[in-house]
Amino acid sequence: MTLAGTILRRNFEPLVLSIQVVIDLIVVVFACLLAWWLRETLIASEVMGPVADMARTASEAIANDPQLGTGPMDPEAANNLKGAPKYSTPLSFYREVFSITAAVCLVCFHSFGLYSPSKSLLNVEEYKAVAKSSVFAFFVVLVLLFFLRDAALPAEDVRGIYEPLLWLHSAVDLAVEPDELSRLTLLLSFVFILGLMIVSRFMSFRVIQRLHQRGIGNRNVLVIGAGWTGRKLQEKFLHVPTLGLNFVGFLDEDPELTGSWIGRGQVLGTTENLKHTLGVHKVGEVFISLPESKESKIIELCAQLDALGTPYYVVPRFYHLMSYNVRIENLDSIPLITRTERRESLLSLAVKRIFDIVVSLTVLLLTAPLLLGIAIVIRRESDGPVFFRQTRIGQGGRPFDMMKFRTMHVANCEDAVAPQSENDPRVTKVGRILRRYSLDELPNFLNVLKGEMSVVGPRPEMPFIVETYNAVDRERLRAKPGITGLWQISYARQDSIHNNLDYDLYYIENRSFLLDLVIVALTGFAVAKGTGAF
């Protein structure tokens, strides 16, 4: 490896975060300039143009009137007046305000965790943080503009008391009055900051993902424990390249597993070989996945890793319980874990329902010609109905008939395993296209209008699968099923739903209107890329 490659590998995260700060600064400044240009060049010119023309005409009339003026207008002044811009404020007028905006935005981005090296599931928390920090920064800037305005000077006889405060205020106050600033320009600035930051972050995540897929900036990780939870960790490392984690193998307490392969990972030895394995494979992080082991064994491993200076993470014994939102309480000196009670308010339920209705009506109206065309093509290609109805289980375990466009031959439209490849003989030719771009699910919006489904939520399963649910699996039934969700836009999209409950549990525990907006936006990108089902 070259010197540059070594430096990049060892300093990848600080370098990426530094570049991200610079990119965010450029985005914020560009958003402010775009807002000024739009307000002053396009909007203000339409409004102020006629007013400016009237002012020029009036000025010329006054200057040429012998009773009101002093004679003909000076030619140079007349030329300057004719060439005057039609917008009210030059860019220099906003220099201080835009500088304050940029500084406040960067501080807010940092405060809301946008410069943390750790990433959330599909980066949804980062998108939410962009929205929250942008709105918060807007109000902070408004408060600063209020306090940085010119203050009225006190009387001379008491001015000495306030002299230090007056000096401090004069050092930081604005050169312009906030009342003279365009409110529309300020509002547009933060609208553009929000929109451009989301686009910028989306592109940044994709670039980082490509770098990690090529092995750039990846950290070698070792999993201690080759049981069920250890294998789930291995799946996450392989499915989510944006984590930047390069899985090197397992260590396990059972010496008989040494040398065997589990999935794509090999058991490199036992926990007795921990120090040797860390050095040979240059391991940067360790995941301890021994939920069935004694507490003393886990503490001993943690002590060894502390002594070796290797970062580590412990998968808790109650793996699924910790998937919920929990809080830790204390009974004297004994820590207690309990689930956080979370009930959706009537307001949030009403907002979600209104959102479902508006989105469904909009989609159905805009795609009406497309729906008609799909129906005609389906009927011409193969015999059978246009729509495929299938019983699914909804919120609270209530069954309903879900509607989709038929994508398989009638003889194969039964409760069977979903197609796993593009060449599945059960799928029709037009069905392959519909499934690829998720167009077969457009009739689901009729279920949304009926209140049986939502735009965002866990995907509904068939009754015979729900009958096999255990207590953890039935948590999916707490929410209304959706057309799209975290699982549908995840890297595990081609795997079965019931094998990826983590996505649904995460959504149910963290659902909010803002999270729904993020998922809908990411779904749009997924559909445009054609990453739907087979």
- Comparing CA positions, the residue from 526, 465, 449 lying closest to residue 498 is 465
On the question of pLDDT at 227 being above 80, the answer is yes
Length, in residues, of the chain: 534
Averaged over 156-185, what is the pLDDT?
A: 65
> pLDDT tens across 278-329, in order?
999 999 999 999 988 888 999 999 999 999 999 999 988 776 666 667 777 8
pLDDT of residue 7: 67
pLDDT of residue 400: 95
Confidence of residue 455 (pLDDT cuts 50, 70, 90): very high
HEC per residue, 12-36:
HHHHHHHHHHHHHHHHHHHHHHHHH
pLDDT of residue 532: 54
Burial 3-25 (b: 16+ CB within 10 A, else e): eeeeebbeebeeebeeebeeebe
pTM of the full structure: 0.73
Q: Kindly report the CA angle at 115 between 114 and 119, in degrees rounded to 5?
A: 70
Averaged over 144-160, what is the pLDDT?
A: 62
Greater model confidence, 217 or 164 = 217
On the question of pLDDT at 97 being above 70, the answer is yes
* Domain chopping of the chain, boundaries: 3-212, 219-319, 346-529
pLDDT of residue 362: 95
For the chain, what percent of residues have pLDDT higher than 90?
Answer: 41
On the question of pLDDT at 208 being above 50, the answer is yes
How far the first Cα of the chain sits from its last, in Å, is 41
User: What Rg value do the Cα atoms of the chain yield, rounded?
Assistant: 31
Averaged over 157-175, what is the pLDDT?
A: 58
pLDDT of residue 332: 75
Q: Which CATH superfamily is domain 219-319 in?
A: NAD(P)-binding Rossmann-like Domain (3.40.50.720)
Averaged over 462-490, what is the pLDDT?
A: 88
Q: Which residues contact 421 (CB under 8 A, 6 or more apart)?
A: 534
Confidence of residue 156 (pLDDT cuts 50, 70, 90): low
Averaged over 59-85, what is the pLDDT?
A: 50
DSSP string, 98-126: HHHHHHHHHHHHHHTTTT-S---GGGHHH
Question: What span, in angstroms and rounded, lies between the C-alpha atoms of 309 and 285?
Answer: 10
Confidence of residue 83 (pLDDT cuts 50, 70, 90): very low
Stretch among 183-192, 370-379, 422-431 having the lowest mean pLDDT: 422-431
Question: What span, in angstroms and rounded, lies between the C-alpha atoms of 357 and 450?
Answer: 9
pLDDT of residue 150: 61
Averaged over 429-446, what is the pLDDT?
A: 90
Averaged over 481-498, what is the pLDDT?
A: 79
pLDDT of residue 411: 67
On the question of pLDDT at 340 being above 80, the answer is no
For the chain, what percent of residues have pLDDT higher than 70?
Answer: 78
On the question of pLDDT at 261 being above 50, the answer is yes
pLDDT of residue 383: 83
Question: What span, in angstroms and rounded, lies between the C-alpha atoms of 445 and 425?
Answer: 28
Averaged over 75-96, what is the pLDDT?
A: 62
pLDDT of residue 25: 96
Confidence of residue 376 (pLDDT cuts 50, 70, 90): very high
On the question of pLDDT at 443 being above 70, the answer is yes
Question: What span, in angstroms and rounded, lies between the C-alpha atoms of 459 and 497?
Answer: 8
Confidence of residue 333 (pLDDT cuts 50, 70, 90): confident
pLDDT of residue 277: 94
pLDDT of residue 486: 86
pLDDT of residue 170: 59
Number of Cβ within a 10 Å radius of residue 339: 11
pLDDT of residue 525: 81
On the question of pLDDT at 3 being above 60, the answer is yes
